[in-house]
Structure 1
Amino acid sequence: MSASAMESAAVTALRSVLHRIHQATERSGRSPDRVRVVAVSKTKPVDVIRRVYDAGHRCFGENYVQEIVDKAPQVPPLPADIEWHFIGHLQSNKVKPLLAAVPNLEMVETVDDKKIADRLDRVVANLGRKPLKVLVQVNTSGEESKFGVDPSGCVELAKHVKQGCTNLVFSGLMTIGMLDYSSTPENFKTLSNCRTDVCEALGIPEEQCELSMGMSNDFEQAIELGSTNVRIGSIIFGPREYPKKDNAQ
Protein backbone atom coordinates (compact mmCIF):
# COMPACT_ATOMS: atom_id res chain seq x y z
CA MET A 1 0.00 0.00 0.00
CA SER A 2 1.33 3.45 -0.91
CA ALA A 3 1.92 6.04 1.78
CA SER A 4 -1.02 8.20 0.64
CA ALA A 5 -3.34 5.18 0.53
CA MET A 6 -2.23 4.18 4.03
CA GLU A 7 -2.96 7.68 5.31
CA SER A 8 -6.43 7.77 3.73
CA ALA A 9 -7.23 4.29 5.02
CA ALA A 10 -6.33 5.36 8.57
CA VAL A 11 -8.74 8.31 8.44
CA THR A 12 -11.55 6.14 7.07
CA ALA A 13 -10.88 3.52 9.75
CA LEU A 14 -10.90 6.14 12.51
CA ARG A 15 -14.33 7.35 11.42
CA SER A 16 -15.59 3.77 11.46
CA VAL A 17 -14.21 3.26 14.98
CA LEU A 18 -15.89 6.45 16.20
CA HIS A 19 -19.20 5.28 14.72
CA ARG A 20 -18.89 1.91 16.45
CA ILE A 21 -18.06 3.66 19.72
CA HIS A 22 -21.17 5.79 19.34
CA GLN A 23 -23.26 2.64 18.94
CA ALA A 24 -21.59 0.94 21.91
CA THR A 25 -22.16 3.93 24.19
CA GLU A 26 -25.81 4.01 23.15
CA ARG A 27 -26.14 0.38 24.16
CA SER A 28 -24.53 1.13 27.52
CA GLY A 29 -26.64 4.22 28.11
CA ARG A 30 -23.71 6.64 28.04
CA SER A 31 -22.69 9.58 25.89
CA PRO A 32 -19.92 9.06 23.28
CA ASP A 33 -18.02 11.99 24.72
CA ARG A 34 -17.49 9.93 27.87
CA VAL A 35 -15.12 7.60 25.98
CA ARG A 36 -11.64 8.65 24.90
CA VAL A 37 -9.99 6.99 21.90
CA VAL A 38 -6.22 6.62 22.14
CA ALA A 39 -4.98 6.06 18.59
CA VAL A 40 -1.94 3.79 18.95
CA SER A 41 0.37 4.23 15.99
CA LYS A 42 3.05 1.71 16.98
CA THR A 43 5.55 1.14 14.11
CA LYS A 44 3.65 3.47 11.76
CA PRO A 45 5.25 6.53 10.11
CA VAL A 46 4.68 10.06 11.33
CA ASP A 47 2.88 11.07 8.11
CA VAL A 48 0.03 8.69 8.93
CA ILE A 49 -0.32 10.21 12.40
CA ARG A 50 -0.39 13.67 10.84
CA ARG A 51 -3.22 12.66 8.52
CA VAL A 52 -5.26 11.33 11.43
CA TYR A 53 -4.48 14.55 13.32
CA ASP A 54 -5.63 16.62 10.34
CA ALA A 55 -8.90 14.68 10.41
CA GLY A 56 -9.52 16.09 13.88
CA HIS A 57 -8.16 13.45 16.24
CA ARG A 58 -6.02 14.67 19.13
CA CYS A 59 -5.20 11.71 21.41
CA PHE A 60 -2.35 9.37 20.45
CA GLY A 61 -0.45 6.65 22.25
CA GLU A 62 2.73 4.61 22.02
CA ASN A 63 4.01 1.44 23.68
CA TYR A 64 7.74 2.14 23.47
CA VAL A 65 9.65 5.08 24.93
CA GLN A 66 11.97 5.51 21.96
CA GLU A 67 9.08 5.60 19.54
CA ILE A 68 7.11 8.28 21.37
CA VAL A 69 10.30 10.28 21.93
CA ASP A 70 11.00 10.18 18.19
CA LYS A 71 7.47 10.91 17.01
CA ALA A 72 6.13 13.45 19.50
CA PRO A 73 8.26 16.42 18.33
CA GLN A 74 7.29 15.79 14.70
CA VAL A 75 3.51 15.99 14.97
CA PRO A 76 1.78 18.31 14.68
CA PRO A 77 3.09 21.85 14.08
CA LEU A 78 1.45 22.76 17.40
CA PRO A 79 2.50 19.87 19.65
CA ALA A 80 0.67 21.28 22.68
CA ASP A 81 -2.53 20.44 20.83
CA ILE A 82 -1.89 16.69 21.05
CA GLU A 83 -2.58 14.55 24.09
CA TRP A 84 0.03 11.80 24.22
CA HIS A 85 -0.46 8.67 26.33
CA PHE A 86 2.28 6.19 27.18
CA ILE A 87 0.68 2.74 27.31
CA GLY A 88 3.61 0.32 27.48
CA HIS A 89 5.64 -1.10 30.35
CA LEU A 90 7.84 1.66 31.72
CA GLN A 91 11.25 1.02 33.27
CA SER A 92 12.66 3.41 35.85
CA ASN A 93 15.67 4.35 33.71
CA LYS A 94 13.36 5.41 30.88
CA VAL A 95 11.27 7.83 32.93
CA LYS A 96 13.49 10.92 32.62
CA PRO A 97 14.10 10.53 28.85
CA LEU A 98 10.35 10.11 28.33
CA LEU A 99 9.23 13.09 30.39
CA ALA A 100 12.01 15.38 29.19
CA ALA A 101 11.40 14.68 25.51
CA VAL A 102 7.60 14.73 25.49
CA PRO A 103 6.42 17.91 27.24
CA ASN A 104 2.82 17.24 26.14
CA LEU A 105 2.70 13.76 27.63
CA GLU A 106 -0.73 13.78 29.24
CA MET A 107 -0.84 10.38 30.88
CA VAL A 108 1.15 7.27 31.77
CA GLU A 109 -1.34 4.39 31.82
CA THR A 110 0.95 1.70 33.18
CA VAL A 111 1.98 2.43 36.75
CA ASP A 112 2.27 -1.06 38.20
CA ASP A 113 4.26 -0.62 41.42
CA LYS A 114 5.34 1.97 43.99
CA LYS A 115 8.86 2.18 42.58
CA ILE A 116 7.77 3.47 39.18
CA ALA A 117 5.23 5.81 40.81
CA ASP A 118 7.94 7.31 43.01
CA ARG A 119 10.30 7.68 40.08
CA LEU A 120 7.69 9.47 37.98
CA ASP A 121 6.87 11.72 40.92
CA ARG A 122 10.50 12.74 41.43
CA VAL A 123 11.23 13.37 37.76
CA VAL A 124 8.08 15.45 37.25
CA ALA A 125 9.18 17.60 40.21
CA ASN A 126 12.76 17.90 39.00
CA LEU A 127 11.69 18.94 35.50
CA GLY A 128 9.20 21.45 36.81
CA ARG A 129 6.39 19.90 34.80
CA LYS A 130 2.73 20.22 35.67
CA PRO A 131 1.38 17.19 37.59
CA LEU A 132 1.19 14.09 35.41
CA LYS A 133 -1.95 11.97 35.14
CA VAL A 134 -1.38 8.27 35.75
CA LEU A 135 -3.42 5.08 35.76
CA VAL A 136 -2.68 2.07 37.95
CA GLN A 137 -2.25 -1.03 35.77
CA VAL A 138 -4.01 -4.11 37.14
CA ASN A 139 -3.24 -7.66 36.00
CA THR A 140 -6.84 -8.86 35.90
CA SER A 141 -6.10 -12.09 34.03
CA GLY A 142 -3.42 -13.38 36.41
CA GLU A 143 -1.08 -14.16 33.52
CA GLU A 144 2.62 -14.17 34.41
CA SER A 145 3.44 -12.64 31.03
CA LYS A 146 1.44 -9.52 31.86
CA PHE A 147 2.53 -6.55 33.92
CA GLY A 148 0.27 -4.97 36.50
CA VAL A 149 -0.49 -5.15 40.19
CA ASP A 150 -2.65 -8.01 41.44
CA PRO A 151 -6.28 -6.92 41.96
CA SER A 152 -5.79 -7.44 45.69
CA GLY A 153 -3.07 -4.78 45.67
CA CYS A 154 -4.72 -2.11 43.54
CA VAL A 155 -6.17 -0.17 46.48
CA GLU A 156 -2.80 0.08 48.22
CA LEU A 157 -1.04 1.27 45.06
CA ALA A 158 -3.80 3.75 44.21
CA LYS A 159 -3.57 5.15 47.74
CA HIS A 160 0.20 5.49 47.41
CA VAL A 161 -0.14 7.44 44.16
CA LYS A 162 -2.92 9.71 45.40
CA GLN A 163 -1.60 10.36 48.88
CA GLY A 164 2.15 9.96 48.51
CA CYS A 165 2.98 11.29 45.03
CA THR A 166 2.15 14.99 45.00
CA ASN A 167 3.33 15.47 41.42
CA LEU A 168 1.08 12.74 40.04
CA VAL A 169 -2.67 12.78 39.53
CA PHE A 170 -4.31 9.44 40.19
CA SER A 171 -6.81 9.19 37.33
CA GLY A 172 -8.00 5.59 37.32
CA LEU A 173 -7.20 1.99 36.44
CA MET A 174 -6.00 0.16 33.33
CA THR A 175 -5.91 -3.46 32.23
CA ILE A 176 -5.17 -5.65 29.22
CA GLY A 177 -7.59 -8.50 28.49
CA MET A 178 -6.37 -12.00 27.68
CA LEU A 179 -4.83 -12.23 24.23
CA ASP A 180 -7.19 -14.99 23.13
CA TYR A 181 -10.16 -12.98 24.46
CA SER A 182 -11.54 -16.12 26.15
CA SER A 183 -11.94 -14.40 29.52
CA THR A 184 -12.12 -10.77 28.47
CA PRO A 185 -15.54 -10.01 30.04
CA GLU A 186 -14.34 -11.38 33.37
CA ASN A 187 -11.14 -9.32 33.13
CA PHE A 188 -13.14 -6.15 32.51
CA LYS A 189 -15.59 -6.91 35.30
CA THR A 190 -12.66 -7.45 37.65
CA LEU A 191 -11.29 -4.00 36.81
CA SER A 192 -14.72 -2.47 37.38
CA ASN A 193 -14.85 -4.16 40.79
CA CYS A 194 -11.38 -2.81 41.54
CA ARG A 195 -12.64 0.68 40.77
CA THR A 196 -15.45 0.26 43.27
CA ASP A 197 -12.96 -0.76 45.96
CA VAL A 198 -10.49 2.02 45.11
CA CYS A 199 -13.13 4.74 45.06
CA GLU A 200 -14.52 3.60 48.39
CA ALA A 201 -11.03 3.56 49.93
CA LEU A 202 -10.08 6.96 48.53
CA GLY A 203 -13.46 8.56 49.10
CA ILE A 204 -13.93 9.64 45.49
CA PRO A 205 -16.89 9.17 43.12
CA GLU A 206 -16.51 6.51 40.44
CA GLU A 207 -16.93 9.19 37.76
CA GLN A 208 -13.50 10.49 38.79
CA CYS A 209 -11.83 7.10 38.30
CA GLU A 210 -11.26 6.15 34.67
CA LEU A 211 -11.25 2.61 33.31
CA SER A 212 -8.79 2.09 30.48
CA MET A 213 -9.73 -1.24 28.93
CA GLY A 214 -10.43 -2.42 25.43
CA MET A 215 -8.32 -2.58 22.28
CA SER A 216 -8.98 -3.24 18.60
CA ASN A 217 -10.63 -6.62 19.08
CA ASP A 218 -12.70 -5.95 22.18
CA PHE A 219 -13.27 -2.20 22.56
CA GLU A 220 -17.04 -2.34 22.03
CA GLN A 221 -17.46 -4.94 24.74
CA ALA A 222 -15.18 -2.90 27.01
CA ILE A 223 -17.31 0.19 26.51
CA GLU A 224 -20.47 -1.74 27.31
CA LEU A 225 -18.78 -2.85 30.55
CA GLY A 226 -17.81 0.70 31.54
CA SER A 227 -14.56 1.62 29.79
CA THR A 228 -13.84 5.34 29.51
CA ASN A 229 -10.60 4.95 27.56
CA VAL A 230 -9.97 2.54 24.65
CA ARG A 231 -6.60 1.95 23.02
CA ILE A 232 -7.07 1.35 19.29
CA GLY A 233 -4.11 0.52 17.06
CA SER A 234 -4.40 -2.04 14.27
CA ILE A 235 -7.96 -1.16 13.25
CA ILE A 236 -6.95 2.44 12.57
CA PHE A 237 -3.38 2.08 11.39
CA GLY A 238 -3.28 -1.47 10.06
CA PRO A 239 -1.08 -4.38 11.18
CA ARG A 240 2.17 -3.54 12.91
CA GLU A 241 5.23 -3.48 10.68
CA TYR A 242 8.55 -4.52 12.16
CA PRO A 243 11.91 -4.39 10.36
CA LYS A 244 12.85 -7.72 8.82
CA LYS A 245 15.89 -9.42 10.29
CA ASP A 246 18.82 -10.11 8.03
CA ASN A 247 19.14 -13.90 8.13
CA ALA A 248 22.44 -13.76 6.28
CA GLN A 249 24.23 -12.44 9.33
Structure 2
Amino acid sequence: MAAPAVEGVAVTALRTVLHRVRQAAERSGRRADDVRVVAVSKTKPVSLIDQVYDAGHRCFGENYVQEIIEKAPQLPDDIQWHFIGHLQSNKVKSLMTAVPNLAMVEGVDNEKVANNLDRVVSNIGRQPLKILVQVNTSGEESKSGVNPSECLDLVKHVKLGCPHLEFSGLMTIGMLDYTSTPENFKVLLNCRSEVSKALGIAEAQCELSMGMSGDFEKAIEMGSTNVRIGSTIFGPRDYSKRK
Protein backbone atom coordinates (compact mmCIF):
# COMPACT_ATOMS: atom_id res chain seq x y z
CA MET A 1 0.00 0.00 0.00
CA ALA A 2 3.03 2.31 0.17
CA ALA A 3 3.41 2.76 -3.61
CA PRO A 4 0.37 5.03 -4.17
CA ALA A 5 1.65 7.42 -1.49
CA VAL A 6 5.03 7.70 -3.24
CA GLU A 7 3.34 8.26 -6.57
CA GLY A 8 1.14 10.95 -5.01
CA VAL A 9 4.26 12.67 -3.79
CA ALA A 10 5.66 12.74 -7.34
CA VAL A 11 2.54 14.44 -8.71
CA THR A 12 2.60 16.99 -5.89
CA ALA A 13 6.30 17.59 -6.56
CA LEU A 14 5.61 18.09 -10.27
CA ARG A 15 3.05 20.79 -9.50
CA THR A 16 5.52 22.51 -7.18
CA VAL A 17 8.22 22.39 -9.86
CA LEU A 18 5.87 23.85 -12.47
CA HIS A 19 4.98 26.66 -10.06
CA ARG A 20 8.66 27.42 -9.46
CA VAL A 21 9.29 27.35 -13.22
CA ARG A 22 6.49 29.82 -13.78
CA GLN A 23 7.87 32.19 -11.16
CA ALA A 24 11.41 31.96 -12.56
CA ALA A 25 10.13 32.53 -16.10
CA GLU A 26 8.28 35.64 -14.95
CA ARG A 27 11.44 36.94 -13.31
CA SER A 28 13.18 36.52 -16.66
CA GLY A 29 10.43 38.44 -18.45
CA ARG A 30 8.93 35.36 -20.09
CA ARG A 31 5.92 33.09 -19.71
CA ALA A 32 5.96 29.59 -18.25
CA ASP A 33 5.06 28.31 -21.73
CA ASP A 34 8.45 29.55 -22.91
CA VAL A 35 10.20 26.92 -20.75
CA ARG A 36 9.90 23.18 -21.38
CA VAL A 37 10.11 20.91 -18.34
CA VAL A 38 11.58 17.49 -19.07
CA ALA A 39 10.70 15.07 -16.28
CA VAL A 40 13.77 12.83 -16.11
CA SER A 41 12.61 9.38 -15.06
CA LYS A 42 15.83 7.36 -15.08
CA THR A 43 15.79 4.38 -12.67
CA LYS A 44 12.08 5.02 -12.00
CA PRO A 45 9.34 2.45 -12.73
CA VAL A 46 6.78 2.79 -15.49
CA SER A 47 4.02 2.93 -12.86
CA LEU A 48 5.46 6.14 -11.45
CA ILE A 49 5.83 7.72 -14.89
CA ASP A 50 2.18 6.78 -15.52
CA GLN A 51 1.11 8.77 -12.48
CA VAL A 52 2.94 11.90 -13.65
CA TYR A 53 1.51 11.36 -17.14
CA ASP A 54 -2.00 11.11 -15.69
CA ALA A 55 -1.40 14.45 -14.00
CA GLY A 56 -1.07 15.95 -17.47
CA HIS A 57 2.67 15.95 -18.10
CA ARG A 58 3.84 14.75 -21.50
CA CYS A 59 7.59 15.42 -21.75
CA PHE A 60 9.89 12.81 -20.19
CA GLY A 61 13.61 12.16 -20.42
CA GLU A 62 15.92 9.18 -20.03
CA ASN A 63 19.72 8.88 -19.89
CA TYR A 64 20.22 5.21 -20.68
CA VAL A 65 19.28 3.64 -24.01
CA GLN A 66 18.31 0.31 -22.47
CA GLU A 67 15.92 2.00 -20.06
CA ILE A 68 14.12 4.10 -22.64
CA ILE A 69 13.69 1.26 -25.12
CA GLU A 70 12.16 -0.87 -22.36
CA LYS A 71 9.89 1.83 -20.94
CA ALA A 72 8.65 3.68 -24.02
CA PRO A 73 6.60 0.81 -25.53
CA GLN A 74 4.77 0.39 -22.19
CA LEU A 75 3.65 4.02 -22.07
CA PRO A 76 1.29 6.20 -24.15
CA ASP A 77 2.62 7.13 -27.57
CA ASP A 78 1.83 10.84 -27.15
CA ILE A 79 4.72 11.15 -24.70
CA GLN A 80 7.51 13.35 -26.06
CA TRP A 81 10.66 11.48 -25.12
CA HIS A 82 14.03 13.20 -24.80
CA PHE A 83 17.25 11.20 -24.74
CA ILE A 84 19.68 13.14 -22.55
CA GLY A 85 23.45 13.02 -22.54
CA HIS A 86 26.11 11.15 -24.46
CA LEU A 87 24.74 8.70 -27.02
CA GLN A 88 27.01 5.91 -28.25
CA SER A 89 27.02 5.49 -32.02
CA ASN A 90 26.39 1.75 -31.79
CA LYS A 91 23.13 2.36 -29.90
CA VAL A 92 21.61 4.86 -32.31
CA LYS A 93 19.68 2.29 -34.36
CA SER A 94 18.14 0.50 -31.38
CA LEU A 95 17.11 3.82 -29.83
CA MET A 96 15.51 5.18 -32.98
CA THR A 97 13.66 2.02 -33.94
CA ALA A 98 12.34 1.27 -30.43
CA VAL A 99 11.15 4.81 -29.64
CA PRO A 100 9.21 6.23 -32.61
CA ASN A 101 7.97 9.08 -30.41
CA LEU A 102 11.50 10.25 -29.59
CA ALA A 103 11.14 14.03 -29.82
CA MET A 104 14.71 15.15 -29.20
CA VAL A 105 18.26 14.01 -28.52
CA GLU A 106 20.07 16.15 -25.96
CA GLY A 107 22.79 16.15 -26.96
CA VAL A 108 24.91 15.34 -29.93
CA ASP A 109 28.57 15.80 -29.06
CA ASN A 110 30.47 14.61 -32.16
CA GLU A 111 30.12 14.25 -35.92
CA LYS A 112 30.04 10.44 -35.85
CA VAL A 113 26.91 10.35 -33.70
CA ALA A 114 25.31 13.08 -35.82
CA ASN A 115 26.02 11.11 -39.00
CA ASN A 116 24.66 7.88 -37.54
CA LEU A 117 21.50 9.58 -36.32
CA ASP A 118 21.01 11.23 -39.71
CA ARG A 119 21.40 7.93 -41.54
CA VAL A 120 19.08 5.97 -39.26
CA VAL A 121 16.38 8.66 -39.33
CA SER A 122 16.54 8.56 -43.12
CA ASN A 123 16.43 4.75 -43.25
CA ILE A 124 13.39 4.40 -41.01
CA GLY A 125 11.59 7.21 -42.79
CA ARG A 126 10.55 9.24 -39.78
CA GLN A 127 10.28 13.01 -39.63
CA PRO A 128 13.50 14.97 -38.99
CA LEU A 129 14.80 14.49 -35.46
CA LYS A 130 15.37 17.53 -33.28
CA ILE A 131 18.81 17.58 -31.69
CA LEU A 132 20.72 19.78 -29.30
CA VAL A 133 24.48 20.04 -29.54
CA GLN A 134 26.06 19.26 -26.16
CA VAL A 135 28.72 21.69 -24.96
CA ASN A 136 31.14 20.96 -22.15
CA THR A 137 30.93 24.27 -20.29
CA SER A 138 32.80 23.14 -17.17
CA GLY A 139 35.95 21.83 -18.82
CA GLU A 140 35.77 18.59 -16.85
CA GLU A 141 37.23 15.59 -18.63
CA SER A 142 34.51 13.38 -17.15
CA LYS A 143 31.84 15.32 -19.00
CA SER A 144 30.77 14.72 -22.60
CA GLY A 145 30.26 17.61 -24.95
CA VAL A 146 32.27 19.62 -27.41
CA ASN A 147 34.70 22.27 -26.31
CA PRO A 148 32.98 25.67 -26.58
CA SER A 149 35.54 26.65 -29.23
CA GLU A 150 34.40 23.70 -31.39
CA CYS A 151 30.67 24.18 -30.88
CA LEU A 152 30.09 26.18 -34.06
CA ASP A 153 31.89 23.62 -36.24
CA LEU A 154 29.64 20.80 -34.98
CA VAL A 155 26.51 22.92 -35.41
CA LYS A 156 27.50 23.71 -38.99
CA HIS A 157 28.11 20.02 -39.68
CA VAL A 158 24.60 19.19 -38.44
CA LYS A 159 23.02 22.03 -40.41
CA LEU A 160 24.89 21.39 -43.66
CA GLY A 161 25.65 17.68 -43.57
CA CYS A 162 22.72 16.07 -41.76
CA PRO A 163 19.50 16.85 -43.67
CA HIS A 164 17.42 14.47 -41.53
CA LEU A 165 18.35 16.22 -38.30
CA GLU A 166 16.89 19.51 -37.12
CA PHE A 167 19.36 21.60 -35.16
CA SER A 168 17.30 23.06 -32.33
CA GLY A 169 19.86 24.50 -29.93
CA LEU A 170 22.52 23.82 -27.31
CA MET A 171 22.70 21.97 -24.01
CA THR A 172 25.07 21.52 -21.12
CA ILE A 173 25.19 19.09 -18.21
CA GLY A 174 27.00 21.32 -15.73
CA MET A 175 29.55 20.59 -13.06
CA LEU A 176 30.68 17.21 -11.75
CA ASP A 177 28.10 17.31 -8.97
CA TYR A 178 25.40 18.09 -11.57
CA THR A 179 24.94 21.67 -10.53
CA SER A 180 25.99 24.61 -12.60
CA THR A 181 27.25 28.06 -11.81
CA PRO A 182 26.31 31.26 -13.62
CA GLU A 183 29.70 30.98 -15.33
CA ASN A 184 28.66 27.64 -16.93
CA PHE A 185 25.44 29.18 -18.12
CA LYS A 186 27.26 32.23 -19.48
CA VAL A 187 29.50 29.97 -21.56
CA LEU A 188 26.43 28.42 -23.18
CA LEU A 189 24.89 31.86 -23.72
CA ASN A 190 28.08 32.96 -25.46
CA CYS A 191 27.99 29.86 -27.66
CA ARG A 192 24.41 30.65 -28.61
CA SER A 193 25.37 34.19 -29.58
CA GLU A 194 28.18 32.89 -31.78
CA VAL A 195 26.00 30.23 -33.40
CA SER A 196 23.10 32.59 -34.01
CA LYS A 197 25.32 35.19 -35.67
CA ALA A 198 27.05 32.60 -37.84
CA LEU A 199 23.78 31.03 -38.97
CA GLY A 200 21.99 34.34 -39.37
CA ILE A 201 19.15 33.36 -37.03
CA ALA A 202 17.55 35.04 -34.05
CA GLU A 203 18.84 33.84 -30.69
CA ALA A 204 15.27 32.86 -29.83
CA GLN A 205 15.48 30.20 -32.55
CA CYS A 206 18.34 28.48 -30.70
CA GLU A 207 17.14 26.66 -27.60
CA LEU A 208 19.17 26.49 -24.41
CA SER A 209 18.88 23.33 -22.34
CA MET A 210 20.53 24.12 -19.04
CA GLY A 211 19.42 23.63 -15.48
CA MET A 212 18.50 20.56 -13.47
CA SER A 213 16.99 19.90 -10.05
CA GLY A 214 19.61 21.88 -8.15
CA ASP A 215 19.84 24.96 -10.36
CA PHE A 216 16.89 25.18 -12.75
CA GLU A 217 15.54 28.47 -11.41
CA LYS A 218 18.85 30.26 -11.94
CA ALA A 219 19.10 28.67 -15.39
CA ILE A 220 15.64 29.94 -16.36
CA GLU A 221 16.45 33.41 -15.06
CA MET A 222 19.49 33.39 -17.37
CA GLY A 223 17.50 32.32 -20.41
CA SER A 224 17.12 28.53 -20.38
CA THR A 225 14.25 27.27 -22.52
CA ASN A 226 14.51 23.63 -21.44
CA VAL A 227 15.13 22.30 -17.91
CA ARG A 228 15.70 18.67 -16.98
CA ILE A 229 14.17 17.81 -13.60
CA GLY A 230 14.62 14.34 -12.16
CA SER A 231 15.01 13.77 -8.43
CA THR A 232 13.02 16.87 -7.45
CA ILE A 233 9.98 15.29 -9.10
CA PHE A 234 10.60 11.57 -8.73
CA GLY A 235 12.69 11.39 -5.58
CA PRO A 236 16.21 9.97 -5.11
CA ARG A 237 17.35 7.64 -7.85
CA ASP A 238 18.02 3.95 -7.31
CA TYR A 239 21.16 3.30 -9.33
CA SER A 240 20.97 -0.41 -8.58
CA LYS A 241 18.31 -0.40 -11.33
CA ARG A 242 20.64 1.22 -13.84
CA LYS A 243 20.72 -0.56 -17.18
TM interval, short-chain normalised: over 0.9
Distance 1:133 1:58 in 2: 17
TM-superposed deviation, 1:134: 0.2
Distance 2:103 2:8 in 1: 27
Distance 1:101 1:108 in 2: 14
CA-to-aligned-CA distance 1:214-240 (integer Å, 9 cap, x gap): 000000000001000000000000000
Identity %: 75
Q: Are positions 1:189 and 2:177 aligned together?
A: no
Distance 1:183 1:87 in 2: 16
CA-to-aligned-CA distance 1:138-196 (integer Å, 9 cap, x gap): 00000000000000011110011011100000000000111347861100011011000
1:234 is matched with which residue: 216, 223, 231?
231
Q: Cα RMSD over matched residues?
A: 1.3
Distance 2:171 2:83 in 1: 12
Distance 1:199 1:146 in 2: 24
CA-to-aligned-CA distance 1:112-149 (integer Å, 9 cap, x gap): 01110001000100111110000000000000000000
* CA 196–20 in structure 1, closer or farther in 2 if over 3 Å, else same: same
Q: Structure 2: which 5+ runs fail to align?
A: none
Residue 142 (structure 2) aligns with:
145
Q: Structure 1: which 5+ runs fail to align?
A: 245-249
* CA 70–131 in structure 1, closer or farther in 2 if over 3 Å, else same: same
Runs (4+) of structure 1 exceeding 6 A deviation are none
Residue 212 (structure 1) aligns with:
209
Distance 1:211 1:242 in 2: 28
Residue 15 (structure 2) aligns with:
15
Secondary structure (helix, strand or coil) at the match of 2:137 reads coil
Count of residues in Structure 1 that have an aligned counterpart in Structure 2:
241
Correspondence 1:37-56 to 2 at 5 A: 37-56=37-56
Distance 1:35 1:144 in 2: 29
What one-letter code is carried by the residue in structure 1 that aligns with 2:186?
K
Q: Does the CA-based 8 Å contact 2:180-2:211 persist in structure 1? A: no
Distance 1:205 1:183 in 2: 25
